[in-house]
Amino acid sequence: MPTRRGTVLFDIDGTLIDAGGAGQAAMEDVFREEFRTLKEVTGIPTAGRTDRAITRDLFAFHGGECDPLSLMKLRDRYLAHLPKYLETHAGGLLPGTVEILSQLSHSGEWRLSLLTGNFEEAAWIKLRHYGIDHHFSDGGFGDEHVDRDDVARSIWSRLTGDEPQLERLPVIVVGDTPADVKCGRAIGAQVVAVATGVYGRHSLEAAKPDWLIDNLHDTRWLQELLA
C-alpha cells in the first residue's frame, strides 16, 4: 500500500451530487402520508443538517412525537421510497466529482471516507444510484447524531482508531455549506468549501474555509497539499 498522505472526508449532497431534491421530497411525502395531510412543509432548513435533525423538526411541524420507534418507522419508509424518487427527479453528478474521486482513489495515498448528514442507508442509495459508491467503504452519517459536529467526531475517532498514523497527517473536509466548515473545525480539519450547493461564495467565504472553490474541477487545494 502506498504511504498515506492524509484523509479526505466528503459530504454528499451539493458536493458530489445534485439529487434534484429527491431526498427532501421523499422525506416530506412520507411525513404527509403518515400524518394524512397535504400541508406544504415550510421553515425547516435542510442544507448542512443531519437527517435526524430534519426528521425531528418534521415531527414537530406535523405535531407528532419523535420517539425512537416512530423515528425508525418513518426512516425505513423514507429509505424504501428514496430509490423511486431518485429515478423521477432530475439530478446528477456535480462537476469534477468523477475526476477527483478517481484521482484520490487510484493514488491509494488518501484515506477516503464520507461525512454526511444523510442516514447511512440513504447515503449508499444515493451513491449507488450515481455510480460512485465504490470509492467509499465507510463514513459518518446522520443516523448517529443530531449535531453534524458530533458526526465528524465519531467518524474521525473510528478512522484514527483503525489507522493511528492518520492523526499525524492532514485531514480535509470537503463540503458545500458553512456547517461543513464548522464540523471540520470540530476535528481540527482543513476545509474545502465548494460552491455547488445552495450557499453562494459570499456565505461560504464568511465561514472562513481554507479553500473556496467553484466546483471540484478546481484541485488547487490538493496540489498545495502535495507540494
- For the cut 70, the answer to whether the pLDDT of residue 209 exceeds it is yes
- For the cut 80, the answer to whether the pLDDT of residue 2 exceeds it is no
Give per-residue pLDDT as tens, 178-199.
Answer: 999 999 999 999 999 999 999 9
- CB under 8 Å to 83, separation ≥6 — which residues? 125, 129
Taking the C-alpha atoms of residue 29 and residue 35, their distance in angstroms, rounded to an integer, is: 10
Taking the C-alpha atoms of residue 113 and residue 156, their distance in angstroms, rounded to an integer, is: 10
Give per-residue pLDDT as tens, 21-79.
Answer: 999 999 999 999 988 887 888 889 999 999 999 999 999 999 988 899 998 999 999 99
Phi, psi for residue 102 in degrees, rounded to 5: -65, -45
Domain boundaries, the chain: 6-19+91-226, 22-88
Nearest to 57 by CA among 13, 24, 22, 20: 24
- Return the pLDDT at 93: 99
Taking the C-alpha atoms of residue 41 and residue 163, their distance in angstroms, rounded to an integer, is: 43
Q: Which fold has domain 6-19+91-226?
A: Rossmann fold (3.40.50)
User: Is this structure's pTM higher than 0.85?
Assistant: yes
